[in-house]
Amino acid sequence: MGPGEKSYVKSLYDKGLDKILAKIGEEATETAVAGKGGNPDEVVYEAADLIFHLLILLGYYELPPEKVYAELRRRFGVSGIDEKASR
């Protein structure tokens, strides 16, 4: 992202980590509300917003999404209770 570039993502990076985290919280809440509302199209729309903002957070820390996928693969077939206890 160049210094003169105008984009939503750049505006979030410029505002800093707290703004990125606030957007994730906002989008997570909207996703939960959509889930409660029962409209599948709204769930998809809000889930896309949430995932988009999570990707921005990963980019902030220069973490490729593959690291998340690798962690999910590591957990595959492991009880969630056992996995959490191992941390």
Tell which wins on pLDDT, 46 or 1.
Answer: 46
Alpha-carbon separation of residue 12 from 7, 34, 59, 62 (angstroms)? 9, 24, 11, 15
Nearest to 27 by CA among 62, 5, 55, 4: 55
Phi-psi region of 54 (alpha: psi -120 to 50; beta: other; left: phi over 0): alpha
> pLDDT at position 3, please?
61
> pLDDT at position 86, please?
76
How far apart CA 86 and CA 80 sit, in angstroms, is 10
Digit-coded pLDDT (tens) for 27-85:
999 999 999 999 999 999 999 999 999 999 999 999 999 999 999 998 888 777 766 77
Domain ranges of the chain: 9-85
> pLDDT at position 85, please?
76
User: What is the value of pTM for the model shown?
Assistant: 0.82
CATH fold of 9-85 reads Helix Hairpins (1.10.287)
Q: Which amino acid is at 65?
A: P
